[in-house]
Structure 1
Amino acid sequence: MSVLEVSSASPALVHAAAAVVLYLHIGAGTVGLLAGAAVFVFRKGSRWHRRLGNVFVVAMLLMSAIGATVAPFLPKPERASVIAGVLTFYLVLSSWAAVKRKPGQFGAFDYGLLLTALGVVGFSAYLGVLAAESPNGKLDGQPAAAFVLFIIIGTLAALGDLRLILARGVSGATRLARHLWRMTAAFFIAANALFLGQPQVFPKTLRGFLFLPAPLILGLLLYWLGHVGYGAYRRRKTRPTASMP
């Protein structure tokens, strides 16, 4: 996120508030990324996994909310950051809800999630067209491909919300996979925003390696989704079948 620009004539309280917002955004993002990386180290369901997961959720919700709210009011408005912030907030919130709510539970909250995902897809498509039609193929410094990524993630999320609504809730491996991919996708967006979106904060010797977190996170996501799917498959295969009368 760009630095908040405050007029020199503004009261000291305004300058202090701008600084607090900026450092809260940076601090929450840093804590969220560290907690997200640590979550992968601990066994799923363990005490430390749950504790660090809670830290990740709070930090990411705070970071994304600040980013989405402040981005339109920067000296140069960043519409892509609005989408990234809203999408990250939505992914983290829906992922957290997937494991905190009872299996099979659903309600008005899920309809709100679906509308949010559809809104992200629609706005991303609109901005993607503007980026593609611009002379340099970018909008607010972001290439059209960035908006395509938001469209893909938002569409997958909307389909998942629709499936949950039609099934009137999810449980078992489906519920766990919903939690897992959404939390990891949010982590992926946040990591890219730092490593690829703010390369200037890293030493020049490291900038050639800033692309590495993205495929690493995607690899972890594929591994754990495969692990969850294989575990569900094994449980179905080993489940005793009822004898024929």
Structure 2
Amino acid sequence: MATLYISPESSPLAHAAAAAVLYLHIGAGSVGIMSGAAAFVFRKGTPLHRLIGKIFVISMLIMSGIGAVVAPFLPTPERASVIAGILTFYLVLSSWMAVKRKPGELGKFDHGLLLTSLSITGAGAYFFWLAMQSPRGMLDGQPGAAFLMFVIIGSLAAVGDLRLIIQRGVTGATRLARHLWRMTVALFIAANSLFLGQPQVFPKAVQKSGWLNVPALLILALLLYWLGHVAYGAFKRRRMHRPNQLHAG
């Protein structure tokens, strides 16, 4: 997020509030990235993993909420930051709800999630279209591909939300995968916002080395690994139960 501009004529209280919002956004984002990374390390389902997960959820909701609300009021409004903030907030909240709810449970809140994912997809498509109308193919300094990413992620999320509603909830590997990919993509967005979106905070040697691309690539690799692990586990369980079902029949 760019520096929040406050007029020099504004009161000291306004300047202090702007600084507090900025530092809270940065601090929450930093905690979110560190706790998200730690969640991959500690064994799933343990008390420590659950505690770290709660820290991740709270910090990411604060970070993304501030980003989405403040971005329209920057000296140069950043529509990409607005969508990124809303998308991250939505992904973290829906990921947390996937494991917070009992397996196979559905609530009115889940219908709101579908409306949110569809809105994100529609907004991303509209801003992508606006970017393509520009001679440079950009909008608010962001390339059209940035908005296309929101369309892709929003569409995948909407399909998952629709499936959850049709099936009246999700269970087993589907429930775990829903939690996993949403949490990881939210972490991916936060990491990109820091390492690629704010490269100026790092030494110039690091900026030129290419190391700032590593966190995003590592997060994507972890996502693919864990989704494959979940799918393989579900496949093994089906194979183990199949002989018993045939025998019982």
Q: Same fold (TM over 0.5)?
A: yes
The alignment's C-alpha RMSD in Å is 1.0
**Aligned in 2, Cα 1:244/1:24: closer, same or farther, shift over 3 Å?**
closer
Which residue does 1:235 correspond to in 2? 237
What letter corresponds to residue 167 of structure 1 in structure 2?
Q
Moved more, 129-138 or 100-109: 129-138
Which residue does 2:62 correspond to in 1? 62
What letter corresponds to residue 229 of structure 1 in structure 2?
A
Q: Deviations over 1:36-64 (max 9, x none)?
A: 11111111111221111110000000000
Count of residue correspondences: 245
Which residue does 1:205 correspond to in 2? 205
What letter corresponds to residue 133 of structure 1 in structure 2?
Q
Q: Which runs of 5 or more structure 2 residues have no equivalent in the other structure?
A: none
Normalized per residue, the structure richer in helix is 2
SS at match of 1:210: helix
SS at match of 2:197: coil
Give the structure-1-normalised TM-score.
0.98
Tell me, in whole angstroms, the C-alpha distance in 1 between the residues paired with 2:80 and 2:189. 12
Which residue does 1:163 correspond to in 2? 163
Deviation at 1:35, TM superposition (A): 0.5
Which residue does 1:120 correspond to in 2? 120
Q: Deviations over 1:110-165 (max 9, x none)?
A: 11000000000001111111112212211111111111111100000000000000
Moved more, 97-106 or 46-55: 46-55
Which residue does 2:226 correspond to in 1? 224
Tell me, in whole angstroms, the C-alpha distance in 2 between the residues paired with 1:136 and 1:209. 28
Moved more, 133-142 or 64-73: 133-142
Which residue does 2:217 correspond to in 1? 215
Tell me, in whole angstroms, the C-alpha distance in 2 between the residues paired with 1:169 and 1:33. 29
What letter corresponds to residue 224 of structure 1 in structure 2?
W
SS at match of 1:40: helix
Q: Deviations over 1:68-100 (max 9, x none)?
A: 000000111010000000000000000000000
Tell me, in whole angstroms, the C-alpha distance in 2 between the residues paired with 1:142 and 1:91. 22
Tell me, in whole angstroms, the C-alpha distance in 2 between the residues paired with 1:210 and 1:222. 20
Q: Does 1:77 align with 2:81?
A: no
Tell me, in whole angstroms, the C-alpha distance in 2 between the residues paired with 1:84 and 1:149. 10
Which residue does 1:2 correspond to in 2? 2
Q: Which structure 1 residue ranges, 4+ long, deviate > 2 Å from structure 2?
A: 240-245
Deviation at 1:244, TM superposition (A): 4.8
What letter corresponds to residue 222 of structure 2 in structure 1?
L
Give the structure-2-normalised TM-score.
0.96
Identity of aligned residues (%): 68
